[in-house]
Chain A
């Protein structure tokens, strides 16, 4: 029974994930004075990719075939376990913050392996960059959630929502952690200023370079995984700021529909914010990423230190 809210949440996230990317592209186009494609375009793209024939590079090994499934299952894992629509809490510590960041790292690792497998310069370049980002973002992410955990006394992310929302005003240091979370989320999702998701230019590519050799169904899975990641991060951030209305136990249809509507709204607003951000800042040179990443890490650390010194 306790799994019903989680299942509902996972299915809703599955449905909404392509919309997130569609929305951000749409809003960006509008902000840049273009008409832009419909926000529903990613759904069409997903269906098209599923129907297409796959081209498998001759140099590819078994890793090439395993990577898309491994990446998509890590994305689904976070969609089902994190407190996105439900605060019922995943059982057995599956929404623990360390598990969350480690599962994300696992997904990044398989993406990297899949990118390196065909043996092209592009794949290697994207893989090297993605691995650098993933390795340096993980500590910042754990530190962010460690601050929430130290203040709330919960190590599951569902419990951490109790210090979100208005309660943030009681622990202002957590605002720093939230800011660091934004930086982490931008890096994890290959958005500005870390990566430019719109171009295929070797100077800037990270994510796109890795999936260059994928096509057809595999590409559909990989794209879906990255859409899902973006949607999950957006909703998670929104829930840390506005932790209601969410489903809880016992399951009721009215609470569920309220949560679904609220999530839709949160997602659209978050994507609007992301579009504004992406239209107003330039992309950073990759070799300046150390500044960005150390900033994320030290802001997160400052949030943690301030929250444990002011708290107790």
Chain B
């Protein structure tokens, strides 16, 4: 089969296979059905990944795959942007599917396998289809398929906390979806059956204020799905409650779908926006990065930490996209191109390392039965292979060399500094300096957060009975984690090439043509960096073997004369104490120490308990007031419900008159 025929067939196979795996899962609750369903999912997504990759590498123009006979004849179309995101979805789904085989089997008692697999398949299908749909109706239908399916996935374990998190998530996601719908209605003059290109045509006739209103609605819709501050409250609640392989999908790729939607509308649908809009996106992005990373540093739950880190990473991605919009409005085309490509590149890296980290968290929770970092520890000694992959993924998530995420940030910062050298207006330079300062600050703290997750979970001595019983997971559970860790290194080596592929001109992100990236890939080489570090590592190992004394003696740690036990170790709370102290004005964490004297007469000998009250600044300042306002409004509205039928009839009449007045 030629590539031309393979691409549409492969993607059709992928979509059909994902639906089929859901259908297969309906058939039963047994292990065999589960395995068959996951097998179909893995196979179809692997084919889909190959097709998307083939499309990206051949660099074709946009490709209409097929038209649906229903849903207002929604056409499924593939272009550079959707192919890139489809590649992320299919690759991650494929690896997560392998992980799910054993993971879900092990949780047969806690989860209902049938409903879990059916909703997961629908969730994945929604994400794939939303990338390909070209009409508003199709987009919204698949968007809602994804959102509603993920709502059910959050409450898979049917615990009260999960239910609460799921309903918070549902509220936010439905608010976002209605904002999206309203935004599309504004742009499309009230119809939702047209496709994006027709809306783009129509939106050029709209007034600037209308465009701004539509943009604000769309940004709220996509931003709340992407977990941007201040619409992020649901994310650290919902992502950790879902089963770990679903958390990997939600954090790794569902957030990217929101990014895709945002890029699709701002780059392809909306007319060029003023610089202030780009600036607003940039500021929201920086704010998300800052708050996400601070909470990621101080949180104690492994999956919540990763969820906060997702907020931070999405914040960085939106910073890059916002800067690109700002730069384009200011006429800095080169910076706009690099920043956009850096955003896409970071999105790809984040999909890889974050899904890998959530799978790691899943393995750890499964083997230790603990989700709290304080009760882990000592895993590196008993699970060496797993922790090596975990270590690589955490380093990749810290954007340290020689991993892919580092290259993205490197190029991004480099292009900002390069632009500072030019003679642009001071206002532009001020924005660039602000971006630079906050981004480097956030990336410094991101290292802290990731080191905390890895080190507190896997180093030291085990701090709970569960952690001390941990064993190396079977190869089938390790394989996807190792594969994702290997991918981070692979992406790093090929990052200049990948970066070129993601440049706006290659992706055919039109508007006005952006120049091909002027980053000379031979002047910045992550492969050389990797090789240099490896060479020095080998030299130092050889030096030690040649000259060092090889005699070793195992002994307990230095103990000041009394036995050391795991209770003396640094925990996550202790480890992040300096940051919690330094940023206490932003974190709103209240520490209370209660000392109860053991002997009433001597206050110095006491048992102390410490609690840290982790409130959210945003909840205290913003959401509490919104909630109060809503309660007040609803109590006022209650007065209308006085039970008098004539009054209700009067209200109906009044609304009829009002609507007649408004429509004429």
Chain A residues with a Cβ under 8 A of chain B:
50-63, 69-70, 72-74, 76-77, 80-81, 91-94, 96, 98-99, 102-103, 105-106, 109, 112-113, 116-125, 127-129, 131-132, 134-139, 142-143, 146, 149-151, 153, 155, 212-213, 216-217, 220-221, 286-287, 289-290, 297, 301, 304-305, 308-309, 312
Contact = CB atoms under 8 A, between A and B. Distances in A.
Contacts of A136: 444-445, 582
Interface string B229-269: 00000000000000000000000000000000000000000
B428 to A, nearest CB: 10
B622 interface: no
Interface in B533-588: 533, 536-537, 539-541, 544, 547-549, 551-559, 564, 566, 568-570, 574-579, 581-582
12 contacts: A53-B551, A54-B553, A63-B391, A80-B536, A94-B528, A120-B559, A120-B569, A134-B448, A220-B548, A289-B578, A297-B441, A312-B422
Contact of B554 (A58, A76, A103): A58
A95 to B, nearest CB: 11
A81 B564 CA distance: 43
Contacts of B541: 69
B459 A113 contact: yes
Given A55-B555, A146-B417, A308-B420, A286 B544 contact: no
B430 to A, nearest CB: 8
A153 B422 CA distance: 8
B633 interface: no
A130 to B, nearest CB: 10
Given A109-B447, A216-B548, A217-B548, A61 B553 contact: no
A62 B384 contact: yes
Contacts of B529: 92, 94, 99
A10 to B, nearest CB: 9
A99 B447 contact: no
Interface stretch (B35-43, B68-76, B187-195, B374-382): B374-382
B433 interface: yes
A212 B558 CA distance: 8
Contacts of A216: 548-549, 552
Contacts of B461: 59, 119
A146 B558 contact: no
The number of chain B residues touching the other chain, given as a range, is 35 or more
Given A56-B555, A155-B414, A103 B401 contact: yes
Nearest to A72: B540
A304 B423 CA distance: 15
Contacts of B554: 55-58
A150 to B, nearest CB: 4
A223 B460 CA distance: 22
Interface in B86-119: none
Nearest to A103: B401
Contacts of A51: 549
Contact of A57 (B422, B556, B569): B556
B401 A106 contact: yes
B537 A70 contact: yes
Contacts of A74: 533
Contacts of A150: 417, 420-421
Contacts of A301: 433, 437
B414 A69 contact: no
B443 interface: yes
Of the listed residues A50, A59, A93, the one surrounded by the most CB atoms of chain B closer than 10 A to its CB is: A59
Given A54-B549, A103-B401, A309-B426, A132 B579 contact: yes
B388 interface: yes
Nearest to B567: A121
B603 interface: no
B455 A112 contact: yes
B391 to A, nearest CB: 7
Interface in B376-413: 377-378, 380-381, 384, 387-388, 391, 395, 398-401, 406, 409-410, 413
Given A113-B451, A120-B557, A142 B388 contact: no
Given A52-B549, A99-B401, A221 B556 contact: no
Given A125-B570, A216-B549, 13 more contacts: A55-B552, A56-B553, A57-B556, A57-B557, A58-B555, A61-B387, A69-B540, A77-B532, A96-B524, A103-B401, A143-B440, A155-B418, A290-B582
B575 A127 contact: yes
